[in-house]
Structure formats: C-alpha cells, structure tokens
Structure 1
Amino acid sequence: MELATLALVVLMLAFATIQVGLYYHARKVAQSAARQGVETGRQFGASEGDGLAQAQNYLARYGNSVRGAQVSSAGSSAQQIRITVTGDVATLVPGFELHVSQHADGPIERWTNP
C-alpha cells in the first residue's frame, strides 16, 4: 500500500515537471514569434502585415507547442509596432487548460530630419 501511494506521488511530480516544461517552452516559442514579427515589421519600408506574416510563419514552423495561436498587432502606432501572440499550451491532463500570451514591440525605422 505504501509503495502504491509513493508511486502515485512520484508520477504526479513527474507529470507536473513535464507540464511546467511544456508551459515555459510554449511561452518561449510565442515570445520568439512575436520578436521575429517585430524585427520584420519595423524595418524601413516594411508594413505591419509583413510583421504579422513573419510571426505566423515562425509559428507554422516551430509552434507545435502553442495550440490555436493567434497573432495580432493591437497597440501598434505610426512610430511603434507591437505584435502579440496568444494561444493554449499542450497539456498532459485532459481538461486542464493553460493559456500563454506574449508580446514584443519596437520602433519603426523611418527617415527623420536632423
């Protein structure tokens, strides 16, 4: 009986450790996708749509851990671009949902008079 209880506790700790790892990995992928989009969208002559497309391409290649990912540019202005990536984390326990949301922003390159 003690062995069964101890095995259950060890198994739960192992699943919790794996789930924490999946969460942080999904968070990092979402942050990297947002950063890639900002770096593309802030270049001189690029549009906000170019940044969104780059973030979506990044997620298509590496975003298996972020399910149902949504990319938006809410909060962008004429001088600043902001890309937000949101989605759900893959989970080991059915019915247990974790949500991740990451953003990146940066100034848009433009010509100015000295």
Structure 2
Amino acid sequence: MRALRRRRGERGASAVEFAIIAPVLLLLVFATIQVGLYMYARNVAQTAAREGVSYLRLAGDNPNADSYLGRAEELSVGYAAKLGRLDGVNADGTIDETTGRVTMVVQGEAVLPLGGRVTVVQSADATLEQFRVDPRGAP
C-alpha cells in the first residue's frame, strides 16, 4: 500500500524533469548547429581565398601582372557563391613584386539561424611562380 501511495505522489515528476532539462538540451543542439554553420562559412571563405591565390600566383613573370587581379577576385567571389552560406562576398587581391608574394582576402556575411549575421574574413597568401633560366644551360 505504501508503494502505491509513493507512486501517486510521484505523478508528473517525469514531466517536470523533462520541462527543466528540455530547454537546456535544445539550447545545446541549436548552439552546436550555430557553431557548425559558422565554421562552415569560415571554411568557404578560406577555400575561396586559396582558389584566388592559386590563380594569382600565375601572374609571375607576366609584365601585366595586375591584369590577373580582377580575374582572381572574380574567381574567389564565384567560388564562395558556388559553395554557399556567405552573403555579400568581397575579395581583395594584392601582388607585392618586391617580396614576390600574392595575397587574397575574402570577406562575407554568414547568416546564422538563431542570431543574425556575423562577418567572416579569411585570407591566403603564397609566393609568385617565377621561372628562371637554368644558369648551367641545357645538357
């Protein structure tokens, strides 16, 4: 009989426990989704910057190296648009002929489902490909 009374006194305990724990679990799930989407947006920007640098490296010994800038920037923006998750993508490439380095900076806004927009900025750099004549000559 005591066991029966105890069960009657515990009626609804599971519902109360669930009501306390459910919001915390939902918050953790949505926070994980937010972080995952942010990391994906960063990865998209980084990959787009690498694609632009890969193209920009070809400017090397070209006398009109600046003509590569516009095409490399278009390539980065197009690549970011193709992968998605970034709005308002902007790419800015530079060629430093004194150091022989090229840089591409990609910036965009990631739309997160629970909290508006966050700006993502990623960059990549590399050395220019420059071909020199072998001083030893051809065998």
Match for residue 71 of structure 1? 91
Match for residue 77 of structure 2? 56
Match for residue 4 of structure 1? 19
Deviation at 1:54, TM superposition (A): 1.3
Q: Which has the larger radius of gyration?
A: 2
Residue 39 (str. 1) matches residue 60 (str. 2)? no
Q: Indicate how the Cα distance of structure 1 residues 94 and 24 shifts in structure 2: closer, same or farther if over 3 A, else same.
A: closer
Alignment root-mean-square deviation, CA: 1.9
Deviation at 1:94, TM superposition (A): 4.1
Q: Secondary structure at the match of 2:49?
A: helix
Moved over 3 A (4+): 111-114
Q: Secondary structure at the match of 2:105?
A: strand
Match for residue 81 of structure 1? 102
Q: How many residues align?
A: 111
Q: How far apart, CA to CA, are the structure 2 residues paired with 1:57 and 1:9?
A: 40
Deviation at 1:98, TM superposition (A): 2.4
Give deviations 1:19-53, integer Å, cap 9, x for gaps.
Answer: 11001111111000000000011114462222212
Residue 20 (str. 1) matches residue 35 (str. 2)? yes
Q: Please, what TM-score do these two structures have when normalized by structure 1?
A: 0.84
Q: How far apart, CA to CA, are the structure 2 residues paired with 1:66 and 1:57?
A: 11
Q: How far apart, CA to CA, are the structure 1 residues paired with 2:81 and 2:28?
A: 32
Q: Secondary structure at the match of 1:101?
A: strand
Deviation at 1:80, TM superposition (A): 1.6
Letter in 2 for 1:18: I
